Amino acid sequence: MNIAVLGTGSVGQALAGRLAGLGHQVVMGTRDVAATLTRTTPDGWGNPAIGTWAAANPQIKLVTYAEAAAFSDGIIVHAMNGHAAIDALHQAGEANLAGKILIDITNPLDFSKGFPPSLFVSNTDSLGEQIQAAFPALKVVKSLNTMSNPIMINPAAVPGDHTVFVNGNDADAKVAVAELLKSFGWTDANIFDLGDITASRGVEMVLPLWVRIYGKTQTPFFNFNINFAPKG
């Protein structure tokens, strides 16, 4: 499968590398390819800059957002900073997006008042909904946004059962995303379908809790699990 990853940060790098390792043809979209390739300073978390990462992963080509979206034959991974999420899709172009599945990993985190961040949209709306409204021909499926990227691509990094959520308006798109998640190692029992795109409000509002847990434990290797009491 030809898959596009929009976003060149640590999440995009992790997803692109994993997808390529599974045999998919992968490109990464960015605003300015030449400028992106000059970045060689690791980020504040110690992750490699995209210029360094790209040199170590020559099988994954960096292209513009529009070229990446056009390259995809069905699935686009949206691993952008929340503030840039919709603008990047406008640059990708509606014609290149129409009819395709967008796995939306973005979160509306607002660091303008420091740490911990707040959300720039919540409660009665969500970034997932705003993306779907802006691009009605795109099949938006929110997923993977409630965990760190090592767990996204390898759920075995956290022992035992834990949950990955999916939600979106298109049932077939959610099935396709679930199949991709299973190729990462997620099981049917741990893939939890929350319903339509409005469920993005809930999963995006998990992030302030995630940040607090990370601050307390100083490790990103944790996840949430949904347990049910036995019936009867």
Q: What share of the chain is helix, strand, coil (3-state, %, to 5)?
A: 40, 15, 40
* Superfamily of chain region 2-217: NAD(P)-binding Rossmann-like Domain (3.40.50.720)
Q: How far, in Å, CA of 10 to CA of 189, rounded?
A: 28
**Element housing 95 (H / E):** helix 94-97
Give tens-digit pLDDT for 27-75. Answer: 999 999 999 989 888 877 778 889 999 999 999 999 999 999 999 999 9
Continuous H helices in 138-193: 149-153, 171-184
Give tens-digit pLDDT for 84-130. Answer: 999 999 999 999 999 999 999 999 999 998 888 999 999 999 999 99
Residue 230: pLDDT over 90:
no
Residue 232: pLDDT over 80:
no
The percent of residues in the chain predicted with pLDDT above 70, rounded, is: 100
Give tens-digit pLDDT for 188-216. Answer: 999 999 999 999 999 999 999 999 999 99
Output the pLDDT for position 208: 95
* Domain boundaries along the sequence of the chain: 2-217
| Side-chain-facing half-sphere of 95: CA atoms under 13 Å | 2
Output the pLDDT for position 64: 98
pTM as predicted: 0.96
